[in-house]
Amino acid sequence: MNIYNCWLQERIVKNTAGLPLEKVYAEKGGLIAKQAVEEYRRGVKRLTGITPAVLPVKAGNNSKIAPGVFLGTYKGFEKIFQITTNSFADSSADNFTDSSAVSSAEGGFYIKNKDGNLLIAGYDDCGLLYGVFRFLMQLALDRDGPFPDIQEEPASPLRIINHWDSITGLVGRGYAGRSLFFENNRFDYNKERITDYARLLASVGINRISISNVNVNNAEKLFITKQYLGELAKIAAIFRPFGIKLILSVSFAAPMSVGKLPTADPFNPSVITWWKEQTDLVYSYIPDLAGFIVKADSEGEPGPFQYNRTQADGANVLARALVPHNGTVFWRCFVYNCQQDWRDHSQDRARAAYDHFMPLDGSFDDNVILQIKFGPYDFQVREPVAPLFGALKKTRHIMELQITQEYTGHQIDLCYLPWIWQDIIKFDTAYGPDSRIMDLVCGNKDTSKLEGFASVVNTGRDRNWTGHTLAQANLFGYGRIIWNPALNAEEIARQWSDLSFGPGPAADTVTDLLLRSYPAFEKYNAPFGICFMVTPGLHYGPNIEGYEFDRWGTYHRADAHAIGIDRTPSGTDYTDQYAPQNAAVFADPARCPENVILFFHRLRYDFIMKNGQTLLQNIYDTHFEGYDEVEAMLEKWKSLKSSLKEEVYKPVLARFERQLKNAREWRDQVNTYFWRKTGIPDKRGRMIYD
């Protein structure tokens, strides 16, 4: 494994399934189609050593020039290769497919291996590009037997990466070095590396990217001005051939900070005009910009509330400026009172997103998309899925995840995130029969459904991109699972390990480590969905009462007898924000899933859990187990010493050692905290410090 190459390793595969890889007939296409052919060429060279010859094709019946590899779009195939879309579905005809349907979604593709020919056809140019990457992935997996037919289309139209990079070079919640794009208050990047980055992202289907923080500070405010738009256009040009469009982080107060207007009131005519003109300027530089992302009225960022306008009023003023350019506003729903008084039990931060946005359902313009965090808090190790999903009926929206390990170990601790994402994706919102998150993910324009995902990314200037080499699996897994929410975490782990290490015992071990990592992390973290026992600000390591008397609204209120917030109808009634069936389950401690039971309930330490043990004993048990599991993971990693290159083995070893220290702090601080609080010892007599 070369740590820089991630899942696109250079490696000669054993099984090329007799495919005629060296002779390629490619439809003459646009920028993205050309990139697809280039990726085919590079990829086949990387995996077989063969440098394919790309041969010209002309209009007319070319089907007899086989055997060869045919790269194109459905329409191109009709025109050039005389293969109709219909014939894809016709199993009796002499054609390349026997499937009953072809993909008809943007980015969809078909790979067919028949009669010694290989056909990779995209619904559009992007589809071709994804088809090529999917083909290369399959080749790299190096499975035995004939090459399979593959038909795919992305479940999510929007597959977004958000960077929280600053022009200073600092990466917000970044644990993999400085920014890939900025340094020292200017654009500063290696073009080749950004191209490699675009390739990595496109290879797992990413199609949108924002490169700067949603907290729009200082110079970043000027990104929408001539001073920086030229630079941004250059970045857009690097991502463009890979089917990835730029999204720009803007400040709601830009009319004031940039435009020098006296207000940013969305109803003010000068503000409306200013946004229109400024947006026109932006699009004159980047005509295919996907739109703006806005963090408004959130953690100190300006927003419409200060003018007594709604979130919809705020979003719509931007949306209207974007309409002429087919641009979209991505409007984050992370709106909550971050100046809460811990004494006030009547407020409940968990309620905030729903309380703020549900009443506005239907008030947002067509080109506004709400970006909603998966849970009601903030990317905790375990939270319930936020109640807006399934509930919103008339507002376009996407789900925000976090690839960067802000609360899940800073890419020091191994924490394989598809494990939690699959749980989120399988969560049933209980609004109707097909109401799991994975069922709700669907194409554009059905405003009751989910148009995709955005995620804060885990990459930076570290040579291996992600700090922890195994954290590459999270970036890979994000692309994979939002492309196809039916994939499970195990399958993705297996794919990533095989692609990165090559199929074999090392990959098996790594797969096993990935799959054990999330449960272990969850065990040594805050117990049973209580959340926020983490070091304030930093968000690494335990601090049991760190948020307890602070302004962030995330309290556990542990006393001598009980812990947790009552969010049932007898408490803050947060449960009522869910569909009735879920509300009833969550509100009932006997039925509530135990991994979030302390999110919904205030329970006595002697509450009996499903395993017959008390809550307290379960806290002790999980924390001892979590530590032990990290210890076992460390030992397992050591078993790989002889099979891995030093640049892979040693830094990961060092991180496992740090993780073990971290797990020890979590175990001991949590256990000591509850032991001191209750005076009740561990039933099994293990060491709990005074």
Least Å from the CB of residue 675 to a copy of itself: 8
Segment interacting with a copy of itself, rule: CB under 8 A, options 254-262, 270-278, 330-338, 339-347? 339-347
Does the footprint of a copy of itself cover residue 345 (CB under 8 A)? Answer: yes
Total of chain residues touching a copy of itself, rule CB under 8 A:
25
Least Å from the CB of residue 565 to a copy of itself: 11
Does the footprint of a copy of itself cover residue 560 (CB under 8 A)? Answer: yes
Does the footprint of a copy of itself cover residue 669 (CB under 8 A)? Answer: yes
Least Å from the CB of residue 594 to a copy of itself: 24
Does the footprint of a copy of itself cover residue 668 (CB under 8 A)? Answer: yes
Does the footprint of a copy of itself cover residue 384 (CB under 8 A)? Answer: no
Question: Could you say which of 474, 509, 543, 582 contacts a copy of itself (CB under 8 A)?
Answer: 543
Contact 635, 671 (CB under 8 A): no
Question: Could you say which of 72, 375, 384, 542 contacts a copy of itself (CB under 8 A)?
Answer: 542
Question: Could you say which of 277, 288, 559, 588 contacts a copy of itself (CB under 8 A)?
Answer: 559
Contact 483, 156 (CB under 8 A): yes
Least Å from the CB of residue 669 to a copy of itself: 5
Residues labelled as active-site residues: 299, 378, 406
Comparing CA positions, the residue from 460, 500, 454 lying closest to residue 334 is: 454
Distance in Å from the first CA to the final CA of the chain? 46
Q: How far apart are CA 29 and CA 125, in angstroms?
A: 7
Q: Which amino acid is at 390?
A: G
Comparing CA positions, the residue from 500, 416, 489 lying closest to residue 141 is: 500
> What is the three-class DSSP state of 453?
strand
Segment interacting with a copy of itself, rule: CB under 8 A, options 152-160, 269-277, 278-286, 673-681? 673-681
> What is the three-class DSSP state of 145?
coil
What radius of gyration do the chain's Cα atoms show?
26
Segment interacting with a copy of itself, rule: CB under 8 A, options 165-173, 185-193, 299-307, 341-349? 341-349
Q: Which amino acid is at 315?
A: A
Distances (CA, A) of 227 to 211, 612, 616, 690: 17, 65, 58, 59
Does the footprint of a copy of itself cover residue 558 (CB under 8 A)? Answer: yes
Does the footprint of a copy of itself cover residue 689 (CB under 8 A)? Answer: yes
Least Å from the CB of residue 627 to a copy of itself: 14
Does the footprint of a copy of itself cover residue 665 (CB under 8 A)? Answer: yes
Does the footprint of a copy of itself cover residue 619 (CB under 8 A)? Answer: no
Does the footprint of a copy of itself cover residue 672 (CB under 8 A)? Answer: yes
Does the footprint of a copy of itself cover residue 545 (CB under 8 A)? Answer: yes
Contact 422, 394 (CB under 8 A): no
Give me 255's structure tokens: 């009319």
Question: Could you say which of 393, 445, 561, 604 contacts a copy of itself (CB under 8 A)?
Answer: 561
Handedness of CA 290, 296, 299, 300 (dihedral sign): positive
- b vs e for 343-374, b when ≥16 Cβ sit within 10 Å of the residue's Cβ? eeeeebbbbbbbebbeebbebbbebbbbbbbb
Least Å from the CB of residue 668 to a copy of itself: 6
Distances (CA, A) of 624 to 60, 307, 539, 687: 70, 52, 21, 9
Does the footprint of a copy of itself cover residue 544 (CB under 8 A)? Answer: yes
Least Å from the CB of residue 544 to a copy of itself: 7
Site string for a copy of itself, 271-310 (x = CB under 8 A): ----------------------------------------
Comparing CA positions, the residue from 294, 479, 448 lying closest to residue 371 is: 294
Does the footprint of a copy of itself cover residue 168 (CB under 8 A)? Answer: no
What backbone phi and psi angles, to 5 degrees, belong to 73?
A: -110, 165
Does the footprint of a copy of itself cover residue 554 (CB under 8 A)? Answer: no
Does the footprint of a copy of itself cover residue 434 (CB under 8 A)? Answer: no
Segment interacting with a copy of itself, rule: CB under 8 A, options 80-88, 323-331, 556-564, 622-630? 556-564
Q: Output 625 or 665, the one with its CB closest to a copy of itself.
A: 665
Least Å from the CB of residue 432 to a copy of itself: 40
> Within 10 Å of residue 296's Cβ, how many Cβ atoms?
25
The angle subtended at Cα 508 by Cα 503 and Cα 510, nearest 5°, is: 110
Question: Could you say which of 210, 572, 659, 678 contacts a copy of itself (CB under 8 A)?
Answer: 678
Does the footprint of a copy of itself cover residue 549 (CB under 8 A)? Answer: yes
Least Å from the CB of residue 638 to a copy of itself: 25
DSSP collapsed to 3 states, 597-620: HHHHCCEECCCECCCCCEHHHHHH
Q: How far apart are CA 244 and CA 238, in angstroms?
A: 9
Give me 561's structure tokens: 């007898």
Q: Output 286 or 563, the one with its CB closest to a copy of itself.
A: 563
Segment interacting with a copy of itself, rule: CB under 8 A, options 46-54, 342-350, 353-361, 520-528? 342-350
Does the footprint of a copy of itself cover residue 690 (CB under 8 A)? Answer: yes
Segment interacting with a copy of itself, rule: CB under 8 A, options 241-249, 362-370, 456-464, 536-544? 536-544
Least Å from the CB of residue 340 to a copy of itself: 13
DSSP collapsed to 3 states, 6-63: CCCCCCCCCCCCCCCCCEEEECCCCHHHHHHHHHHHHHHHHHHCCCCEEECCCCCCCH
Least Å from the CB of residue 659 to a copy of itself: 18
Comparing CA positions, the residue from 161, 167, 177 lying closest to residue 215 is: 167
Q: Output 433 or 679, the one with its CB closest to a copy of itself.
A: 679
> What is the three-class DSSP state of 199?
helix
Does the footprint of a copy of itself cover residue 85 (CB under 8 A)? Answer: no
Question: Could you say which of 64, 343, 610, 684 contacts a copy of itself (CB under 8 A)?
Answer: 343
Q: How far apart are CA 370 and CA 158, in angstroms?
A: 12
User: Residue 143, exposed/middle/buried by CB under 10 A (0-12, 13-18, 19+)?
Assistant: middle
Does the footprint of a copy of itself cover residue 615 (CB under 8 A)? Answer: no
Does the footprint of a copy of itself cover residue 661 (CB under 8 A)? Answer: no
Segment interacting with a copy of itself, rule: CB under 8 A, options 6-14, 82-90, 363-371, 677-685? 677-685
Backbone conformation region of residue 539, classed left if phi is above 0, alpha if psi is from -120 to 50, else beta? left
**β-bridge partners, 614:** 608
Does the footprint of a copy of itself cover residue 606 (CB under 8 A)? Answer: no
Question: Could you say which of 463, 676, 683, 686 contacts a copy of itself (CB under 8 A)?
Answer: 676
> What is the three-class DSSP state of 402?
strand
Chain contacts with a copy of itself (rule: CB under 8 A):
342-343, 345, 542-546, 549, 557-561, 665, 668-669, 672, 675-679, 689-690
